[in-house]
Chain A
Amino acid sequence: MRKSLVQVHEKSKSYDWDFPDPRPKYPTRYVVPKTGKDPFRMLVRDYVRMEEEKDSRTYGFLDGALRMQVAERTEPRFMEALKLTLPDLTNAEFQAVAGVGMIALGIRNQELRQGYYAQMLDEIRHTQLEMALRRYYVEHAPDPAGWDITQKALYQHPGGHVSLALFQNFNTGDVIDSVINLNVVVETAYTNILLVATPQTAVANGDDALATTFLSIQSDEARHMANGYGTLFAVLQDESNVPLINEALERHFWHSHRGLDALVGWQSEYGAVVRPWCYREQWQEWVADDFIGSYVDKLTDFGVEPPQRLAKVAEDVPWLHHSTALALAAIWPLNFWRSDVMGPADLEWFGAHYPGWEEVYGPFWQGHAAMADPSSGRLMLQELPSLPPFCQVCQLPCIMPRPDRSDIRVFEHDGRMIAVCSEGCDWIFHRWPQAYAGRRSFWEQYHGWDLADVILDLGYVRPDGKTLIGQPSVSLERLWTIDDIRRIGYEVKDPLVA
Chain B
Amino acid sequence: MSPDVTVLPYERAFTCEAGESILAAALRQGLFLRYGCRHGGCGSCKAVLVDGDTAGSGSSFALSSSEQAEGWVLLCSTTPLGDCTIDVESMELTQEEFESGDGVGSFEAEVTGVAALAEDIRGLRLALREPDRMSFGAGQFVNVEVPGTTEVRCYSMANAPQHADQIELIVKLLPGGRFSGYLESRIAIGDRLRLFGPLGQLRLRLSHRKVLMVAGGSGLAPLLSMLRDMHLKARPRTVELVFGARRRRDLYLLDEIARLAAALPSLEFVPALSEPDADPWAGETGLVTEVIARRHPSLDGYDAYLAGPPAMIDATIPLLTERGVRRANIYFDAFLPTGP
B208 touches A57 (CB 8 A): no
Count of inter-chain pairs, beta carbons less than 8 A:
75
Shortest Cβ gap from A238 to chain B (Å): 22
- The answer to whether B44 and A222 have CB atoms under 8 Å apart is yes
Q: Which of A291-299, A364-372, A487-495 contacts B (4 or more CB under 8 A)?
A: A291-299
For residues 6 through 47 of chain B, which have their beta carbon under 8 Å from a beta carbon of chain A? 36-37, 39, 41-44
**In chain B, what residue has the closest Cβ to A317?**
B208
Partner-contacting stretch, out of A94-102, A145-153, A282-290, A339-347 = A282-290
Looking at chain B's contact residues, the main secondary structure is loop
Which chain B residues (51-87) contact chain A, with CB distance < 8 Å?
Answer: 59-62, 64-66
Residue A457, interface by CB 8 Å: no
Instruction: Decide if A313 is an interface residue (CB 8 Å cutoff).
Output: yes
B residues 201-226 touching A (CB-CB < 8 Å): 205-209
Pairwise interchain contact A196-B37, C-beta atoms closer than 8 A: yes
Contact A222 B61, CB 8 Å, known A6-B92, A297-B206, A314-B208: no
Complex interface bits, A264-295 against B, C-beta within 8 A gives 1, otherwise 0: 00000000000000000100110011001110
CA–CA, A284 to B39, complex, Å? 16
Q: Which of A195, A196, A221, A296 contacts B206 (CB 8 A)?
A: A296
Q: Is B194 at the interface (CB under 8 A from chain A)?
A: no
Do B205 and A293 have beta carbons less than 8 Å apart? Answer: yes
Interface residues of A in 38-72 (CB under 8 A from B): 49-50, 53-54, 57
Closest to B48 in A: A2
Chain B interface size band reads 20 to 34
The reply on B90 being an interface residue by CB < 8 A is: yes
A-chain residues with CB within 8 Å of residue B207 when the two chains form the complex: 288-289, 292-293
Q: Does B326 contact A (CB under 8 A)?
A: yes
State whether A294 touches B208 (Cβ < 8 A). no
Interface flag for B329 (CB, 8 Å): yes
* Residue tally, chain A, CB below 8 Å to B: 35
Tell me whether A219 and B66 are in contact (CB under 8 A): no
Assess whether A1 is interfacial by the CB under 8 Å rule.
yes
Alpha-carbon distance A284/B328, docked complex (angstroms): 10
Cβ of B89 within 8 Å of any chain A Cβ, yes or no, is: yes
- What is the CA–CA distance of A285 and B300 in the complex, to the nearest angstrom? 15
Is chain A's binding surface mostly helix, strand, loop or mixed? helix
Residues from chain A with Cβ under 8 Å of B92 in the complex? 6
The CA-CA distance from A293 to B205 in the complex, in Å, is 5
Q: Within 8 Å CB of B89, what residues of A?
A: 3
- Complex Cα distance A6/B41, Å? 23
Residues from chain B with a CB closer than 8 A to the CB of A313 are: 208
The answer on a CB contact under 8 Å between B61 and A292 is no
Q: Are B61 and A57 in touch, CB under 8 angstroms?
A: yes
A192 within 8 A of B: yes
Chain A residues contacting B61 (CB-CB under 8 Å) are 54, 57, 215-216, 218-219
Inter-chain contact A219/B62, CB cutoff 8 Å: yes
- Judge whether A311 is part of the interface by a CB distance below 8 angstroms: yes
Query: Does A306 sit at the interface, judged by CB under 8 A?
Result: yes
Closest Cβ of chain B to A203, distance in Å, is 13
Q: A292 and B59 in contact (CB under 8 A), knowing A53-B66, A222-B42? A: no
Indicate whether A310 reaches chain B with its CB closer than 8 angstroms: yes
Q: Which residue of A lies closest to B35 (CB)?
A: A222
Binding site for A on B (CB under 8 A): 36-37, 39, 41-44, 59-62, 64-66, 89-90, 92, 205-209, 235, 301, 326, 328-329
Chain A contact residues, CB within 8 Å of chain B: 1-3, 6, 49-50, 53-54, 57, 192, 195-196, 215-216, 218-219, 221-222, 225, 281, 284-285, 288-289, 292-294, 296-297, 300, 306, 310-311, 313-314
Name 5 extra pairs, CB < 8 A, besides A215-B41, A222-B42. A54-B61, A196-B39, A218-B42, A219-B42, A311-B208
